[in-house]
Structure 1
Amino acid sequence: MEGSLDFNRWFGRAKTLVLQPTTLCNLDCMYCYLPFRRLSNEMSPEVAQAVAASAADLTGSGDELDIVWHGGEPLALGRRKFAALLAPFEELRHAGRIQHPRHQRHNPAGDE
Structure 2
Amino acid sequence: MRIETYGQQLEITPALQEYVESKLKRLDRHFDQPIEVRVQLAVAKPDHRAEATVTVPGRTLHADAAGENMYAAIDVLADKLNRLILKHKEKQQDRYAPRAVSDAL
TM range (shorter): under 0.3
Structure with more strand by fraction: 2
Bigger proportion of residues as helix: 2
| Bigger Rg, structure 1 or 2 | 2
Q: Which has the higher contact order (CA 8 A, sep 6+)?
A: 1
Q: Output the TM-score relative to the length of structure 2.
A: 0.27
